[in-house]
Structures are given as C-alpha cells and as structure tokens.
C-alpha cells in the first residue's frame, strides 16, 4: 500500500462555439506541483485554438497559464497529459507552503458561507473531541447530506444550495465540507486533481478538501469516496474554493452558445 503508484493522466477540455469567437481568455490551473509524495515524471499542457500569454504562480502556489482564444476560433481544445508517481501518506500533505497565512483559510467565501444546513451538520459532529476523527465524521456527514449524483448541480452552486438540494458532485460536497470546517474555526481549502478509479474514462476531474490539523498540517478528506487521499490521487491546484482552484476558467466575447466536453483518463502504469 505504501508502494509508489505511477499514474498516467490525460485530461482534455473542449469548447465548441456556435459562432466564431472574436476574443477570449482562459486561465488554466492544470499543472501539478512536485511534492515529497508526488513526483512529476513528465507533464505537458497543450492547446488548439488558443495561444499562450502568461504563466505565473498564484498566491496558493498553483501554476497558472493564461491563454487567449485565437480570434475567429470555433473550437478550443486544452489537453494536459503526463505521468505522476504518488505515494500514500494517509492524506497528510503537511506544512503550509508559500505566504498565505492560515487565517485566510478560516474565512468563508461566498460559495462556502455556512447557513442553517451547515450549522446542523456541524452540530451533528461537534461532540467528537479529537479533531482528526471529527473531520472524518464531518466528511461522512457531508456525504450523507449531499448524495453524489452527476448532472444535478450547477457550477456556481453554494454549499447551502447543495445541502438544500441534497445532491451534487465532488465540488459541491467539498464546498459543504469547507463551509462546515471553517464554521468550526478550522482552516480548510479546496483541492482539484485526479483520482485513479476502476473506470479509467471519467467525465470530470476530481475535487476534495484539505483541513488544517495541528501537528500534522494539511490533511486531505475526499468526501465523495469517504477516505483520505492516498497514492491514487494527483493533486493539481488548491484554493479557498472552486473559483480559485478551477482547472479552466475564463471570459470571452461573442453571442453564440458553447458546448463544453471534458474527458479525463487516469490509468495506473
């Protein structure tokens, strides 16, 4: 179980536009960082219908690429692909890197504002005195309150909206976890990445949460799967919520609609 696992990832995001796009920009957070538990063997990011503008490291130390859509493009395809060797650390990510102070992760964002739904979840787990166990309890409680179901939630949903609906995807479950953890005064953050599952072909990248546990540092909690991340996970970007860790986000001109398709393949070598 502690053996390194070599994962091959291929993630393709395609936009098909109804009418040619005169102007557009996309911010890409599609480059995983090397860590003690995650070795990047090779990784490439490429695009068709766009050109590179700028690359920088954001406040969470994510590598961000800004690309512009080629004027007149009718489609944009962004592909990242590579091999990563991961080890199992029982979800422990460790110390905070970079300059973001821990208090930043205690503040709710508009998507992770705790309301009555989150308060009830917090109530259901707060009796557990051991922080690590309480966070595992929280993860389970969130999974029960927001059942995993694709095609229901909207990308802009807040934690409370997901709780009202009782259904959602990993993004929604993660937001609820973050809102509850922060409501308890525990620093927490959003993680986007990939997960090796039985099904190699997936239709979205994955998301989970990390919470700050004194003495351990950041510890991951994958609500959707009820576990802490192990050597089947590739950690790509972090942020206060989806908005800061989103794999692709952008803006464009043009009145026509667009069709977005995502394909993710994760295989063990």
Partner 1 sequence: MQMTTTFDEMWGRGMGQSQGHSATASDDGASGGPNSRSSRMTQAQTMYEGLRPPYAAFDAWLKGENPGRLLRKQHEAEEVFRLTGITFNVYGRAEAAERLIPFDIIPRIISGREWARLAKGIEQRVRAINAFLHDIYHRQEIIRAGRIPVEMIARNAAFLSKMIGVEPPGGVYTHIVGIDLVRTGEDEFYVLEDNARTPSGVSYMLENRETMLQMFPELFSRNRVRPVSNYPLALRRSLAACAPAATRGDPVVAVLTPGLYNSAYYEHSFLADKMGVELVEGHDLRVVGGRVAMRTTEGYKPIDVLYRRVDDDFLDPLNFNPESGLGVPGIFDVYRAGGITIANAPGTGIADDKAVYSYMPEIVRFYTGEAPILQNVPTWRCNEPQALRYVLDNLHDLVVKEVHGSGGYGMLVGPTSSKKEIATFREKLLANPGNYIAQPTLALSTVPIFTRAGLAPRHVDLRPYVLVSPDGVTITPGGLTRVALKKGSLVVNSSQGGGTKDTWVLEE
**Which range touches partner 1 (CB under 8 A), out of 63-71, 88-96, 156-164, 171-179?**
63-71
Q: Which of 23, 79, 128, 165 binds partner 1 (CB under 8 A)?
A: 23
Q: How many CB atoms lie under 10 A from the CB of residue 156?
A: 10
- For partner 1, the closer CB: 68 or 74: 68
- For partner 1, the closer CB: 52 or 267: 52
CA distances from 112 to 85, 115, 173 (A): 32, 9, 11
Does the footprint of partner 1 cover residue 251 (CB under 8 A)?
Answer: yes
Q: How far apart are CA 145 and CA 112, in angstroms?
A: 15
Query: What DSSP state is assigned to residue 222?
Result: B
Does the footprint of partner 1 cover residue 107 (CB under 8 A)?
Answer: yes
Q: How far apart are CA 164 and CA 148, in angstroms?
A: 14
- Closest CB 207 distance from partner 1, rounded Å: 20
Using an 8 Å Cβ cutoff, are 250 and 26 in contact? yes
User: At a CB cut-off of 8 Å and minimum separation 6, what does 199 contact?
Assistant: none
- Closest CB 187 distance from partner 1, rounded Å: 12
Q: Which of 1, 42, 95, 103 binds partner 1 (CB under 8 A)?
A: 103
Q: How far apart are CA 207 and CA 193, in angstroms?
A: 6
Does the footprint of partner 1 cover residue 95 (CB under 8 A)?
Answer: no
Does the footprint of partner 1 cover residue 59 (CB under 8 A)?
Answer: yes
**Which range touches partner 1 (CB under 8 A), out of 81-89, 99-107, 118-126, 202-210?**
99-107
Using an 8 Å Cβ cutoff, are 200 and 190 in contact? no
Residues that bind partner 1 (CB under 8 A): 23, 25, 27, 52-59, 61, 64, 66, 68, 98-101, 103-104, 107, 240, 250-251
């Amino acid at each position: 179980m502690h053996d390194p696992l070599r994962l091959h990832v291929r993630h393709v995001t395609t936009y098909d536009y109804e009418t040619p796009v005169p102007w557009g920009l996309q911010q890409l957070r599609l480059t995983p960082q090397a860590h003690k538990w995650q070795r990047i063997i090779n990784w490439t990011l490429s695009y068709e219908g766009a050109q590179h503008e700028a690359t920088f490291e954001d406040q969470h130390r994510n590598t961000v690429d800004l690309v512009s859509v080629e004027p007149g493009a009718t489609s944009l395809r962004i592909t990242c692909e590579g091999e990563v060797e991961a080890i199992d650390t029982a979800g422990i990510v460790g110390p905070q890197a970079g300059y973001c102070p821990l208090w930043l992760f205690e503040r709710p964002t508009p998507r992770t504002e705790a309301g009555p739904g989150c308060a009830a979840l917090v109530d259901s787990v707060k009796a557990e005195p051991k922080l690590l166990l309480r966070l595992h309890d929280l993860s389970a409680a969130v999974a029960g309150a927001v059942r995993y179901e694709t095609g229901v939630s909207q990308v802009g949903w807040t934690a409370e909206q997901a709780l009202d609906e009782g259904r959602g995807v990993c993004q929604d479950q993660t937001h609820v976890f973050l809102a509850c953890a922060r409501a308890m005064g525990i620093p927490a953050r959003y993680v986007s990445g990939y997960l090796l599952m039985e099904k190699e072909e997936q239709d979205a990248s994955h998301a989970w949460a990390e919470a700050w546990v004194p003495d351990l540092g950041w510890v991951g909690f994958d609500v959707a799967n009820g576990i802490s991340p192990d050597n089947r996970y590739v950690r790509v970007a972090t942020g206060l919520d989806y908005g800061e860790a989103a794999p692709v986000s952008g803006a464009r001109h043009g009145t026509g609609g667009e069709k977005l398709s995502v394909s993710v393949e994760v295989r063990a070598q």
